Amino acid sequence: MSLVDFSEDGQFAPKKIAAELRTTSEEVARSVGLGKDAVQRRDRVGSDRTQRRLREMVEIINKVEPRFGSYLMAYAWYRSEPLSGFSGRTAMQLVRDGQAGDVLEYIDAVDAGVFA
């Protein structure tokens, strides 16, 4: 799926992301470490912080989707699979802690054959 499919009016749209992942926009907010107001109030959806967190999650899910065959399975991995080298924390926990870049580097390393 293209990034455009997750967006509306040039921004990431929590409702579109939630629909693709078969969940709620509130759950999407929790998955990136935001409160439900961040995805429900128009002024908060457009904030830099909200858009950055949504982008980070979408980038990670897009990167691992080919490995799992669906966005739904990639989202399950994002939420529940402990990553080696990160004290058993999941990609979701790392994104919540502002470490999305580390998750992306980890995925790149695994794809390159380096086992973290």
Does the model's pTM come out above 0.95?
no
Q: Domain span at residue 100?
A: 3-111
Binning pLDDT at 50, 70 and 90, where does residue 116 land?
low
Q: Please report whether residue 116 resides in a domain.
A: no
Q: Does pLDDT of 73 surpass 60?
A: yes
In a domain, 28, yes or no: yes
Asked whether residue 78 is domain-assigned, the answer is yes
Residue 68 lies in a domain: yes
The answer to the question of residue 32 being in a domain is: yes
Return d(Cα 79, Cα 33) in angstroms, integer: 12
In a domain, 20, yes or no: yes
Confidence of residue 75 (pLDDT cuts 50, 70, 90): very high
Q: What is the mean pLDDT of residues 24-34?
A: 95
Is 73 domain-assigned? yes
pLDDT of residue 1: 61
- The total domain count for the chain is 1
Confidence of residue 70 (pLDDT cuts 50, 70, 90): very high
Residue 102 scores a pLDDT above 60: yes
Mean pLDDT across the stretch 19-32?
94
